[in-house]
Amino acid sequence: MSENQPSHDVLHRLVHAAMLAPTAENCQPFSFVWNGKSLDVHHNVERAAHPLSCNFLTSQIALGCLMEAIALQSSVESWSPHFSLHLPDQLIDSLEGNPWLSVRFEPSTSHEADPLLEGLPFRCTDRRVYQGGDPADPLLASLEADSSDCDSTALRFLSTAPPKELVKHIVACDELFWHKPEGALSALKWIRFDDEQVSSTQDGVSGGNLAFSRLETEVLRWMPRSASLFRTMGTFGGKVVYGYRVTQQLRSACTLGCFATSDLSPQGIVQAGRRILRAWIRLNMAGYGFHPYSMVSMVALGAQHQLTGPLPVNFQRLFREGQTLLRRHFGLGPSQSPIWLFRAGKVDPLPKKHRTLRRPVQEVFSYEPA
């Protein structure tokens, strides 16, 4: 290995940090190839495919998080990363084979650790009921203000606990799962129902980390994977139970946050992903749980830009009106599109057994033959 390039150990640590970044459903769609000059990050369409994930919007956000994780780890290595994105506007399947991102490294003289690096291994999604919190906490204002010079991303918090109107809207949007069950069935693929499944796959989300009771999780586990059955279950109570759980989660939150961007190109979304990871780690480090709601934000945005498959007419209307609702509640300007909504609230640290795992570095990292 050339002295002008990071050693194997450094690359291993960088990839390990990159893998700690979140991905939708913990699908971990990225793999890494060192070609002697740059670390190429590839995207696996099969792992990332989701009937409601338009133009791989979720992977674009996840890529931004991954870049920020590499930047955090680089802050303690003697290298500074230079990122080159290779993302056309439409991320069609033909991209398979080409990397989404290349990272070159140049020697760096600074060894000052980014303070967020410490929180990276503990960042997590927490779907439990929270213990509220103070929406006037100065941390929230400081997160809103934390933006870089060329930043098209904004973060806004409500100055109150989640209002009824928004809670109702989020629950209504999530009902799409019952009307277009392909989305829910695809998500079910990533639920790991016992310890053996968790440890053999090292991906997906454990059943214990969902919003459901033990009994509800068991019903999900044994339910035949059939769209029509799922629809029927929705009609006969599933919708009500799920709506109740989501309402409970939202009512327990301190507040809601919304990321918005004025640049909806893949580059703009990836940039937002970088900002998302920093805010997420800061919230977790301060004792706040963080729980995203993609349906009301990301899926709704995709639907508006005709990036999702056909949706029932009432949901098209709901999503369209929802964008206006989010703009109003979060004080966003006409050029700012809400892309990601989440709840935050004080909560005890997530028990280790509920944390998601990551595939081992040796499974996702390789060297290109010389």
Positions in the binding site for ligand FMN (CB under 6 A): 22-26, 58, 61-62, 124-125, 127, 205, 291-294, 356
Looking at beta carbons only, is 124 or 253 nearer to ligand FMN? 124
How crowded is the C-beta side of 328, counted as CA atoms within 13 Å?
8
d(CA 250, CA 244): 10
Supply the minimum distance, in Å, between the C-beta of residue 54 and ligand FMN.
Answer: 12
Run of H or E residues at 231:
helix 227-233
Nearer to ligand FMN, 62 or 184 (CB): 62
- What is the nearest approach in angstroms of ligand FMN to the Cβ of residue 191? 10
Nearest CB to ligand FMN, comparing residues 140 and 198: 198
User: How large is the angle between the packed helices 57-74 and 8-19, nearest 10 degrees?
Assistant: 140
Smallest gap from residue 20 Cβ to ligand FMN (A): 7
The residue number whose beta carbon is nearest to ligand FMN equals 22
Show the tokens assigned to 146.
């934390």
Distance, in Å, from the CA atom of 324 to the CA atom of 332, rounded to the nearest integer, reads: 9
- The continuous run of DSSP H or E covering 103 comes out as strand 101-107
The answer to whether 126 touches 138, Cβ cutoff 8 Å, is no
Residue 318 to residues 50, 329, 349, Cα–Cα distance (Å): 21, 16, 35
Tell me the closest approach of the beta carbon of residue 119 to ligand FMN, in angstroms: 12
Nearer to ligand FMN, 26 or 152 (CB): 26
Kindly provide the b/e burial profile for residues 244-267, where b requires at least 16 CB atoms within 10 angstroms of the residue's own CB. Answer: ebbbebbbbbbbbbbbbbebbebe
CB of 61 to ligand FMN, least distance (A): 4
C-beta closer to ligand FMN: residue 202 or 316: 202
* Cα distances (Å, whole numbers) of residue 303 to 173, 186, 307, 311: 12, 18, 6, 8
CB-wise, 6 or 268, nearer to ligand FMN? 268
Residue 351: CB minimum distance to ligand FMN, A = 12
Question: The tokens of 48 are what?
Answer: 């990332």
Compute the least distance from the CB of residue 53 to ligand FMN, in Å. 8
Residue 71 or 205 having the CB closest to ligand FMN: 205
332, 322, 274: which is closest to 298 by C-alpha?
Answer: 322
User: Closer CB to ligand FMN, residue 105 or residue 203?
Assistant: 203
- Written as six digits, the tokens of 154 are 């904004």
What is the nearest approach in angstroms of ligand FMN to the Cβ of residue 127? 5
